[in-house]
């Protein structure tokens, strides 16, 4: 599926001028960029879709430690693109200009991904299924609250760390006018029926809806 370049999401880090159409992800259109656009137009690691397809067929590209075969596979926030042959790993983050950018990472930073807990449901007496961002879910007996973050090991799928959404935690603002900034929670208050986090960030002290932040440390 393709979309006119002028209609792509504002977070796409590509010029508004150029070829008329760009390939969109095969799902999660509002939060992701298609792999072919990332590899060709952003990272410039391939020259065209045909070259990317060859690499995919040879199993040379992984996302979150999973071998990918689709050129339009969605690349979302905090995803790790790995190219084992060149020992390169790229992590998707949101810049202060609200554009998705890719920073090179290695070691432990390339072996795990942070997921925010969106909701949960009881599936048996002692087990709860936690539904995470980007369609992932995990079943565990761990004590976790909606809004917390889980650091998931990409090799075995196990929880490495639980980061509660609370005072003193470092967070990333992923939506709203302050998107792209990191900061530390000074306080969480209820205001107008919403939970608001008071955050000390590079931008100064800002108030952000808890729904728009992800605990990262």
Instruction: Give the pLDDT mean for 167-181.
Output: 94
Band (pLDDT 50/70/90 cuts) for residue 126 is confident
User: How many distinct helices (H) and strands (E) make up the chain?
Assistant: 2, 19
Dihedral sign for Cα atoms in the order 124, 152, 147, 28: negative
Which residues, 6 or more positions from 115, have their beta carbon under 8 angstroms from its beta carbon?
Answer: 78, 132, 133, 134, 136, 149, 150, 152
SS3 85: helix
User: Per the structure block, which two tokens stand in for 190?
Assistant: 């209820």
Residue among 36, 111, 119 nearest 78 (CA): 111
Please give the span between the terminal C-alpha atoms of the chain, in angstroms, as a whole number: 37
Class of domain 2-109: alpha beta
Name the token pair of 17.
Answer: 């001028």
Note if the pTM is more than 0.85.
yes
pLDDT band per the 50, 70, 90 thresholds, residue 3:
low
Looking at the domain that runs over 111-163, which CATH code has it been given? 2.40.50.740
């Amino acid at each position: 599926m393709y979309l006119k370049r002028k209609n792509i999401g504002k977070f796409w880090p590509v010029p508004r001028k150029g070829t008329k159409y760009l390939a969109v992800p095969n799902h999660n259109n509002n939060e992701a960029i298609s792999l072919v656009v990332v590899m060709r137009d952003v990272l410039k690691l391939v020259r065209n879709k045909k070259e990317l397809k060859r690499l995919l067929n040879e199993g040379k590209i992984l996302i979150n430690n999973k071998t990918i075969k689709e050129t339009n596979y969605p690349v979302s926030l905090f995803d790790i693109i790995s190219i084992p042959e060149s020992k390169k790993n790229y992590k998707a983050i949101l810049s202060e200009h609200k554009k998705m950018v890719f920073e090179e990472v290695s070691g432990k930073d390339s072996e795990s991904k942070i997921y925010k807990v969106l909701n949960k449901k009881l599936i048996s007496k002692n087990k709860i299924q936690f539904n995470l961002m980007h369609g992932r879910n995990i079943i565990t007996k761990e004590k976790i609250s909606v809004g917390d973050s889980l650091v998931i090991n990409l090799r075995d799928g196990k929880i490495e760390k639980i980061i509660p959404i609370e005072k003193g935690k470092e967070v990333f603002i992923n939506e709203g006018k302050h998107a792209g900034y990191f900061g530390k929670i000074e306080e969480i208050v209820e205001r107008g029926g919403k939970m608001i986090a008071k955050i000390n960030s590079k931008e100064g002290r800002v108030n952000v809806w808890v729904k728009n932040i992800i605990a990262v440390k």
